[in-house]
């Protein structure tokens, strides 16, 4: 690019200065893959990891007869840490992962934070994505649930307490979250290290705390600027507020071929109703592929 040339839009300009990270992942392969079926890339939510989607990834690989890549996004799981934690930066990482592993037009599935990453990839690079499944999040700027700052506060208190027992960590976290499944989910990030005296969180709490406002944002504001015309399934929890009815027209402008599937659950759709989630994804992909065949 010459000095006089300018990228077509601000997203292209931002990508000139991106710092891509090499993401950790698990590859779940079926006993016998069917040729011509698009692989799946599975992206977790905030404070999650590839381990959260292990069981459902194995089941989808088995039933859909195709590989499933479950990724750790930056600052999560076993992936590297970086002070920049935005959807554009995470999309950079995922696009680099697709290129590096030579994955041909994957189906992108993402929950919560991962849903916005998947949508960002699809809108930026629509020809690299064969289908899209955002789970309980929408392409809008919206405030995060007030629970997330509380979780950060609880994790900080656990580290400051210098505890050596998970039971003690759980007791501290209970002040911030009553639901045991959510506490167990958060505590999957607790680990030990030969260079650390006490239990600590493997996620960079300081970075993620500073990035909470970013997690409510969405990189694209104008549906006339970018659009993904591929098949898209929005899955939402009926007891959640992240995909309200009044945002459906905007979703339709960004993703004109979208379908909507409601599942009776809260925000943690996949863990609360795994069978219903799996059925929704499988029905969607089988119908898509029957039209393509």
Distance in Å from the first CA to the final CA of the chain: 40
Q: Which of 49, 57, 112, 240 is catalytic?
A: 112
267 among known catalytic residues: yes
Q: Which two tokens stand for residue 45?
A: 């939510």
Catalytic residues: 112, 267
């Amino acid at each position: 690019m010459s000095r006089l040339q300018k990228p077509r839009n601000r997203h292209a300009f931002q990508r000139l200065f991106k710092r891509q990270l090499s993401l950790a992942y698990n590859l779940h392969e079926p006993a016998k893959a069917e040729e011509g079926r698009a692989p799946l890339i599975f992206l977790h939510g905030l404070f999650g990891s590839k381990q959260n989607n292990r069981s459902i990834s194995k089941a989808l690989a088995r039933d859909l007869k195709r590989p499933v890549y479950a990724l750790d996004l930056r600052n999560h799981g076993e992936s590297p840490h970086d002070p920049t934690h935005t959807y554009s930066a995470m999309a950079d990482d995922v696009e680099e992962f697709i290129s590096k592993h030579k994955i041909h037009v994957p189906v992108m599935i993402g929950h919560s934070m991962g849903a916005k990453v998947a949508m960002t990839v699809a809108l930026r690079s629509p020809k690299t994505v064969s289908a899209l499944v955002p789970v309980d999040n929408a392409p809008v700027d919206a405030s995060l649930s007030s629970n997330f700052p509380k979780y950060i506060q609880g994790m900080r208190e656990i580290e400051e307490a210098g505890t050596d027992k998970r039971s003690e960590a759980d007791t501290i976290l209970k002040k911030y979250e009553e639901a045991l499944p959510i506490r167990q989910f958060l505590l999957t990030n607790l680990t030990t290290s030969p260079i650390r005296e006490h239990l600590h969180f493997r996620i960079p709490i300081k970075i993620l705390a500073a990035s909470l406002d970013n997690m409510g944002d969405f990189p694209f504001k104008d549906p006339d600027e970018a659009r993904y015309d591929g098949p898209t399934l929005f899955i939402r929890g009926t007891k959640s507020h992240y995909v309200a009815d009044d945002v459906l027209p905007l979703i339709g402008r960004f993703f004109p071929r979208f379908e909507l599937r409601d599942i009776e659950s809260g925000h943690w759709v996949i863990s609360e109703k795994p069978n219903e989630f799996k059925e929704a994804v499988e029905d969607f992909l089988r119908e898509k592929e029957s039209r393509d065949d």
